[in-house]
């Protein structure tokens, strides 16, 4: 994949069609933005292909982003939707992943923007149309620096697609093994959802699921009822329901987010609470844990093995409800 230094500042709509989604680049080519004719917006940092903003038509932000996070490519982004690959956390006992940094290198690599595709606007006003825009990003072993290649010396390709609809956001990742030997990997979509008050939040759809409680010595437990957050929470769930059945974030009795997974068998639920947030230099404001919860689809309970020439695809679709 080749970096293009001189990208157009905006990608115009096709003549002859109705009002179309607009895609534009920041002046320094570090970000890609999209806007639907109905007002929904999306912003993605090429560093990590990290979604850093998703707003509804009224301008309400749906993702939580730390006020102290770096957006200059010097450090992984705290907030939004970072892409975790090829390891979740660290894996000192895994031969292939033992040398990799926390959460791997996808979230700290510069991705290439591959292009956009849009749905055609139906006749009539934009509010009645089925509008969407899909942005594609790529990362391969050829893009990695020498140090990262030495830590994980496999030929691979990643295609990350982010699709903005009027009431939903879909993020999907395709992993291909371009090597002549198999490799193991984990993947996670580290989604920080914005809420008004974590004390009023519950998470449905994980009832009966076993989970690893990383705050309690990685002990294995079973979720008896809906999930509520009242302290530091770091859990890896394996839901018993099909991935097509939603995991829902409910606030003050109203569903605000519904997450449907595709080929991602785990859901991580994370909130740092008071003490953990205080110890994270890039977490701000320090009481920001009251306004966020991470609900993160992934394949992280073990490692996936990908044979030469094979591909893996996993995705999430987050649907919002009006507040």
Q: How far apart are CA 241 and CA 315, in angstroms?
A: 16
* Rounded Cα distance, 68 and 50, in Å: 16
CA dist 149 and 131 (Å) reads 40
Contacts of 216 (CB under 8 A, 6+ apart): none
Task: Tell me which of 61, 190, 251, 313 is the catalytic residue.
Answer: 190
The reply to whether 78 sits in an annotated binding site is: yes
Q: Per the annotation, does 186 bind a ligand?
A: no
Question: Strands (DSSP E) along 12-141, which ranges?
Answer: 22-25, 31-35, 41-45, 50-55, 83-84, 112-118, 132-140
Backbone phi and psi for residue 214, each to the nearest 5 degrees, phi listed first: -75, -10
Reading the block at residue 322, the tokens are: 């009006």
For β-strands 22-25 and 31-35, DSSP reports them as antiparallel
Is residue 301 classed exposed, middle or buried when 0-12, 13-18 and 19+ CB atoms within 10 A define those classes? middle
Contact 206, 223 (CB under 8 A): yes
Residue 67 per-residue DSSP state: T
With beta carbons less than 8 A apart as the criterion, state whether 138 and 156 touch.
Answer: no
Please confirm, yes or no, whether 190 is among the known catalytic residues. yes
Contact indicator for 195, 249 with CB cutoff of 8 Å: yes
Q: Which is the catalytic residue, given 35, 296, 307, 313?
A: 296
Give one word for 309, left, alpha or beta, with left for phi > 0 and alpha for psi -120 to 50.
Answer: left
Residue 99 CA: distances (Å) to CA of 77, 147, 149: 21, 11, 11
Q: How far apart are CA 40 and CA 48, in angstroms?
A: 22
Annotated active-site residue 245? The verdict is no
Q: Binding site annotation covers 20?
A: no
- Residues catalogued as catalytic: 190, 296
Which residues belong to the annotated binding site? 78, 102, 107
Which residues belong to the annotated binding site for substrate? 78, 102, 107
């Amino acid at each position: 994949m080749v970096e293009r230094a001189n990208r157009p500042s905006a990608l115009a709509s096709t003549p002859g069609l109705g009002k179309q989604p607009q895609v534009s680049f920041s002046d320094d080519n570090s970000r890609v933005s999209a806007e639907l004719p109905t007002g929904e917006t999306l912003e993605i940092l090429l560093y990590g292909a990290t979604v850093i903003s998703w707003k509804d038509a009224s301008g309400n932000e749906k993702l939580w982003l730390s006020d102290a996070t770096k957006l200059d490519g010097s450090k992984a982004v705290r907030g939004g939707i970072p892409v975790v690959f090829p390891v979740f956390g660290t894996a000192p006992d895994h031969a292939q992943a033992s040398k990799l940094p926390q959460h791997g290198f996808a979230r700290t690599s510069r991705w290439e923007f591959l292009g956009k595709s849009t749905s055609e606007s139906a006749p009539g006003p934009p509010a009645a149309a089925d509008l969407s825009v899909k942005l594609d990003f790529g990362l391969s072993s050829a893009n990695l620096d020498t140090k990262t290649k030495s830590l994980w010396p496999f030929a691979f390709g990643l295609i990350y697609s982010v699709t903005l609809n009027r009431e939903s956001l879909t993020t999907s990742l395709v992993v291909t093994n371009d090597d002549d030997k198999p490799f193991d990997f984990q993947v996670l979509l580290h989604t920080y959802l914005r809420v008004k008050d974590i004390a009023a939040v519950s998470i449905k759809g994980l009832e009966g699921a076993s989970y690893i409680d990383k705050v309690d010595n990685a002990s294995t437990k079973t979720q008896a009822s809906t999930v509520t957050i009242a302290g530091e929470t770091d859990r890896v769930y394996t839901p018993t329901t099909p991935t097509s059945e939603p995991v829902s974030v409910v606030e003050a009795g109203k569903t605000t987010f519904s997450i449907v997974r595709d080929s991602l068998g785990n859901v991580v639920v994370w909130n740092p609470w008071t003490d953990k947030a205080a110890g994270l230099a890039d977490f701000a404001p320090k009481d920001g844990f009251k306004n966020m919860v991470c609900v993160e689809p992934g394949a992280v309970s073990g490692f996936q093995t990908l044979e030469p020439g094979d591909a893996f695809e996993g995705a999430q679709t987050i649907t919002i409800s009006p507040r």
